[in-house]
Amino acid sequence: MTHQQRRSFIKMSLGTLGTLCIPMMPRSLWAAANSAEPHFYFQVYFSGGLDSTYLFDARPLALTQANVIQNYLGEDPQEWLGTNGTKCLATRLVNPLKPYRDQFSVLNGVVMATGFDGHDQNLNFLLTGDPFGGESFVPHLNRLSSVAPTPLDALIQGYYYANITNSGTTVPLTPDAAQRLTERLKKSEPLSSGSPLYNFILERMSMNAQGYGAFSNGAHAMQRSYSQAPAIAKMLMSLPQPAPVPSPAPPVAVDVSFLKTCMQLFKQGVTRSAIFIPTTNFDTHDATSARGQPSTIGQAAETLAAIFKILSETSFDDHRSFLDVTTVMAASEFGRTLRQRGVAIDATGTDHNSLTNSIIIGGKGIRGGQVFGETDQRTTGETLSKAHLRFDGQSLSMMGRPFDFATGLPRVDLPETYKPEDYLGMASVANSIYSLFGVSSAHYRKLARNGANAPLVPGLLR
Amino acid sequence: MLLVSASLPVSAHALEYGASSGFKGFPVIKRVLSERWLGDAMTLDLAIYLGEGGGYYSSSGLTSLLGSYEGSGGSLNSTFSNGEPNVVALVLWHVIFSELAVDLASTCTSNGKHYTRAASVPVRDSLTAALKPICNWPAASARSDETLLGLWLELMSFDAPEEEYEAWRDFFKGPAYAGATYTQVVSAMVLAAYSNPHFLLRK
């Protein structure tokens, strides 16, 4: 077994700045090949464990004054009311997202991999359902959905480490690399399907794809890809020249040129999904980086708002924007602790907390304006469940409250033990996305080994 | 033009991600062609054909899409990425081999040593010698088994089984290239050889 087959870590690099214009295009090649509804997926991954108490899971200053939770914003949050009857506390850092509140919903208190608090394990868990890694759900949205798959599963820009075994057609095609490819294609011998040479090459791939075994499978993958290559080459050659980079260049955190490239390639039927990883790392163990969170997390919110803005303002066709045809999810791999033990509240960093995560999800198929889930540790002296204390004996963390899947509301009981079916977990979020993309329930994540499928988040989907 | 998307049903092929040979990768192909075309310790800078090269390397560059090791050389953290065959990679390989083929095809008009854009040293004499008879295409001498085998071995060595050579030989002896120019046929021969799974895939 090759090294690649044992473990496949993805580490991608950040592309350079650039902007691409998205002209109104005629009926796309995608539409010509797919009579089904267009549906794309855009994932934003905030690396390192973004502290959701600076966005939609905030705490009043009184808790800071009681030395329970650090708060370097130094302001009381405001109520953020969900249309489904659940509310949360949000800081002013979410203000850039307010114009789009009907387009997305907030999921708080999403419990991640309770037995693991490492970055890799929880990112593996987010993407694959297994802290040791496996198949990511993102390529499944292309390969296992109910519509014909696009040649590439996803584009990706940014760094992350995850053990993904189905990442082969998740391609780090940055805007400037795509532009260089366009230029080279225009200068080189065209890929002409139907020419004797093309047919001969395809035939050799096909002949070698006969039979069984890794080599035959690889030849089959080549054959399948080569059969799409002329059309893709033609699409890539039609990418427009990028607009000049504005001066001064925008901060990297709000660079959305990758999104614009993705929209081009979504529309051309080259790829189904994209994964965008801003450069900022949110792993704030030390006080210095923790104090910088109002700025860094503020930028994260601005980036997300910019993504919603561009998607909603860019036409996909005569009557739809890209947000109408794209599901967007933004998440980190876990949340953070309230503080660090034995450190002054105004000089503390925070540590990993896999007992809660906050997810923002919106766009196509999502009923926006809602809030799902809630975390505990909201008042001083709050009684925590034994299920919580089992994982966090020192009460340094907040944990997602148990969740009522019948009503979609957080429960008020205090479970003695942790049972996955009592909590809103990543499995339910993933299955909800699967459901949106028509992935068969046979592929859904389970609550436990050999257990039932995790239920969908009730009321989240339109 | 219709997009020819993957038309196969979700089958064992599609789902056996872990049971499929991936690409050898850009560094390996570069090393193989460097040794084969130039000789030991020489480098054929294939990235030039993608508008990169010349010492330029970026993990966001196009060559990184062709299968490469990320991380510092010799590091325990180096991992092989982007090795699964995909359409973008095949488009890139097409560009590289097309451009390389153009350079090779100009052998017929060069006297003495022959150079490519990707190296500051000439190609091996044996490769130049194997190409020279092709310059008389479509004369019988250019289409002989001896000539074609000679060129195939220079290009492919023993990377592929005999039936691949036979298929390649029979294709170029057939009607498709009966009236082609030497430039067209050399370019096509290089593309056809290097697009073969036996050259690009790990075994």
Q: What pLDDT, on the 0 to 100 scale, is given for residue B110?
A: 74
Hey, are the CB atoms on B5 and A151 less than 8 Å from each other?
A: yes
Position A297 confidence tier, pLDDT thresholds 50, 70, 90: very high
Could you report the per-residue pLDDT of B14-66, keeping only the tens digit for each? 434 447 889 999 999 999 999 999 987 888 999 989 888 765 555 567 888 89
SS3 A272: strand
User: What pLDDT is stored for residue B15 in this prediction?
Assistant: 39
What is the pTM assigned to this prediction?
Answer: 0.82
pLDDT for the residue numbered A439 = 95
**pLDDT > 90 fraction of chain A, expressed in percent and rounded:** 70
How does pLDDT run across A413-449, given as a tens digit for each residue?
A: 999 999 999 999 999 999 999 999 999 999 999 998 8
As a whole number, mean pLDDT of residues B8-19 equals: 40
Pick the more confident residue, A244 or A30: A244
Which residue, A392, A383, A288, is CA-closest to A338? A392
Whole-complex ipTM: 0.89
Respond yes or no on whether the N-terminal peptide bond of residue B138 is cis (omega within 30° of 0): yes
- Closest-CA residue of B relative to A233 is B91
Q: Who has greater pLDDT, B150 or A8?
A: B150
Question: What percentage of chain A exceeds 70 in pLDDT?
Answer: 89
Residue A29 binned pLDDT confidence (cut-offs 50, 70, 90): very low
Out of A71-85, A159-173, B1-15, which region has the weakest mean confidence (pLDDT)? Answer: B1-15
Residues 164-183 of B with CB under 8 A from A: 164, 167-168, 171, 176-177
Residues of B in contact with A2 (CB under 8 A): 22, 80, 202
List, for residues A151-189, the tens digit of each pLDDT value. Answer: 889 988 887 888 888 877 787 777 778 888 888 888 888
Confidence tier at A242 by pLDDT (50, 70, 90) = low
What is the average pLDDT across A246-263?
Answer: 67
Task: Find chain B residues with C-beta within 8 A of A224's C-beta.
Answer: 6, 8, 85
In angstroms, the separation between the Cα of residue B125 and the nearest Cα of chain A is 27
Option in A13, A32, A169 nearest B86 (CB): A169
Cα gap B203→A218, rounded to integer Å: 9
Task: Please give the average per-residue pLDDT across A378-382, as a whole number.
Answer: 93
**Amino acid at residue number B9:** P
The rounded distance, in Å, linking the Cα atoms of A226 and A205 is 9
Q: Which range among A73-87, A283-297, B73-87 shows the weakest confidence by mean pLDDT?
A: B73-87
Q: Does A10 touch chain B (CB under 8 A)?
A: yes
H or E segment and range at residue A371: strand A371-372
What residues have CB less than 8 Å from B157, skipping those under 6 apart? B36
| A143 interfaces chain B, CB cutoff of 8 Å | yes
Q: Quote the mean pLDDT of chain A.
A: 88
pLDDT of the residue at A211: 85
Q: Are the beta carbons of B21 and A215 separated by less than 8 Å?
A: yes
pLDDT range class, residue B1, cuts 50, 70, 90: very low
Residue B55 confidence (pLDDT): 58
- In this structure, the number of other CB atoms found within 10 A of the CB of residue A241 comes to 10
Q: Which of A93, A99, A163 is nearest to A135 (CA)?
A: A163
| A35 band by pLDDT with thresholds 50, 70 and 90 | low
Alpha-carbon distance B1 to A229, whole Å?
13
pLDDT at A59 over 80: yes
Burial of A324 by CB count in 10 Å (0-12 exposed, 13-18 middle, 19+ buried)? middle
Residue A222 has pLDDT above 70, yes or no: yes
Which residues touch A139 (CB under 8 Å, ≥6 apart)? A153, A154, A166, A167, A169, A170, A273
Contacts of A16 in chain B (CB under 8 A): 60
Interchain pair B86, A143: CB under 8 A: no
Determine whether the interchain pair B60/A16 forms a contact, defined as Cβ–Cβ distance below 8 Å: yes
Identity of the residue in A4, A177, A231 whose CB atom sits nearest the CB atom of B80 = A4
Q: Is the pLDDT of residue A23 over 50?
A: no
Q: Render pLDDT for B106-127 as a digit per residue (tens, 0 to 9).
A: 888 877 778 888 888 888 999 9
Distances A70 to A95, A99, A149 between C-alpha atoms, Å:
21, 28, 46
Q: Which residue of B has its CA nearest to A234?
A: B1
Tell if the CB–CB gap between B88 and A232 is shorter than 8 Å: yes
Q: Which two tokens stand for residue B140?
A: 């019988």
Quote the mean pLDDT of chain B: 82
Residue A253 reports pLDDT greater than 70: no
Span A403-416, average pLDDT: 96
Query: What percent of chain B has pLDDT above 90?
Result: 51
Chain B interface includes A148 (CB < 8 A): yes
Q: What's the pLDDT at A235?
A: 83
Assigned token pair, B144:
């002989």
Tens of pLDDT, residue by residue over B67-84, are 877 654 444 555 677 888
A 31-50 residues with CB < 8 A to B: 32-34
Q: What is the pLDDT of residue A248?
A: 53
Residue A310 has pLDDT above 80, yes or no: yes
Distance CA(A161)–CA(A157), nearest Å, equals 13
A460 within 8 A of A388, measured Cβ to Cβ: no
Q: Enumerate the residues of chain B whose CB falls inside 8 A of the CB of residue A226.
A: 87, 90, 195
Chain-chain contact of A150 with B81 (C-beta, under 8 angstroms) = no
Cβ(A181)–Cβ(A236) under 8 Å?
Answer: yes
Angstroms from A118 CA to nearest CA on chain B: 17
- Cβ contact B191–A201 (<8 Å): yes
Query: Quick one: angle between helices B182-194 and A196-208, nearest 10?
Result: 20
